[in-house]
Every structure is written in C-alpha cells, then in structure tokens.
Amino acid sequence: MNSPRFEVRGFNHVALVCSDMERTVDFYTNILGFPLVKTVDLPDGIGQHFFFDVGNGNSLAFFWFTDAPDGVPGISAPVEKPGFGEWTSAVSSLNHIAFDVPPEKFQDYRQKLKESGVRVGPLVNHDDSPSQIATEMHDGVYVRSFYFQDPDGILLEFACWMRAFGPLDVSHTPRTGADRRKPVSVND
C-alpha cells in the first residue's frame, strides 16, 4: 500500500554510524553477503560514508566519523538481543534493523550465521498472545525472527512474514509522551 500524499517506494537507505569501517565492510560483505556499492570520503577529513546493497533497491549505509563518540549500550542502542537481556533503547535511537528473508530459508540462514561465528538469539514466533511469543507455529504467528548484532553492537534481525495483515491487526490506541514512565534520577 502506498501513501496517497507521496509515492514512497521503500527505503532508499538507512544510515548508521560505525567505529571501524574496515570491520563493518568485512561483516556486512563477508558474513551477510551485502555488496558494497558506493564509498565516499567526506570533505575536510571528517570521515567516510559507505553503502551496501540489501536488495530490492534498498541500501544500508554507514558513516565513520573521525570524532564520533562511542555508543552507550542501553541508551543509543540496545544492550543485548531480545531473549538475552535488556533490549530497550532511548527515544530517537535506532533499536534494530529487521531484514526480510524468505520463510523457507529462515532456519538455514540462522545456521549459516552461527557457523560464521555470529552469536544469534533463539527463534521467535511472534503472535498476539499475552507473551507475544508462541512456542509452536500456528495460524496466529504473523512473523518469525531471530536477532543478532554487528561488530559495533547494532541489533539486527532476520524476519519473515507468515501471513497477510487485515483490519483486525490495527486495534491499539497510540500511546503519548504523557504515558511514558520517567526515568528515576540518580539524585532522587
């Protein structure tokens, strides 16, 4: 479905920041198999900007800045993968990127990552139950996934849709900023 206001064809690219471009290129090309399609040295020696083809005309891009501060797990990105520990992150942070993979190759891809030395989370069957996770496949499972991290701790997910969505899948009232619990200050 497309917006009546704008003809959006998907993502052109999502841009993240890495600490080591060489290590990032190695992981995304040699482990995940995403071709490196464009490299840029930024003006005035401030860094680099590299693009990987992730399929269907979409790209994943990385900046490497000479003066970038280190990420803060639990604030700028999740500390861990769902199922292994705390996976919340701060407002305006990137929580994770989910790559769409074919359902028939889903478990094989997980095994390939494990064989490449990547620590992967458990298989998750997402459904509408109170826990939102089914131990067995059933008609209510809408997506299957597993999580893993890149060398900088960016949370990634391989996911496959298991059914089409319908009107009953949009049934929750959006929450507001007033609904958020405010963090407790160290000085309180």
- Bridge partners of 126? 133, 143
pLDDT tops 90 at residue 48: yes
Task: Supply the pLDDT for residue 159.
Answer: 94
Domain boundaries, the chain: 1-68, 96-164
CA distance to 93, 135, 143, per residue, from 157 (Å): 16, 19, 12
Averaged pLDDT for residues 57-83: 82
Average pLDDT across the chain, whole number: 86
Question: 132 versus 31: which is more confidently predicted?
Answer: 31
pLDDT the model gives residue 156? 93
Q: Which residue did the predictor score with more confidence, 85 or 106?
A: 106
Tokens 């899948």, residue located: 169
Largest CA distance in the chain: 55
Q: Is pLDDT at 183 greater than 70 in this prediction?
A: no
Which residue would you say has higher pLDDT here, 34 or 57? 34
Structure tokens at 142: 């809408």
Degrees to nearest 5, angle at CA 165 with 162 and 169? 120
Does residue 1 register a pLDDT over 80?
no
Confidence of residue 82 (pLDDT cuts 50, 70, 90): low
Q: Give me the numbers of helices (H) and strands (E) for the chain, helices first please.
A: 2, 9
Q: What is the pLDDT of residue 14?
A: 92
Query: How confident is the model at residue 92, as a pLDDT?
Result: 63
For residue 39, pLDDT over 90 is answered with: yes
Hey, what CATH topology would domain 1-68 get? 2,3-Dihydroxybiphenyl 1,2-Dioxygenase; domain 1 (3.10.180)
pTM of the model: 0.84
CB neighbours of 17 closer than 8 A, spacing ≥ 6?
A: 62, 63, 64, 65, 68, 71
pLDDT of residue 185: 57
CATH number of the structural domain 96-164: 3.10.180.10
What b/e sequence results for 159-181 when a residue is b if at least 16 CB atoms lie within 10 Å of its CB, and e otherwise?
Answer: bbebeeeeeeeeeeeeeeeeeee
173 close to 42: Cβ distance less than 8 angstroms:
no
- Between strands 133-134 and 58-65, the pairing is unpaired
Average pLDDT over every residue of 99-110: 94
Pairing of strands 133-134, 124-126: antiparallel
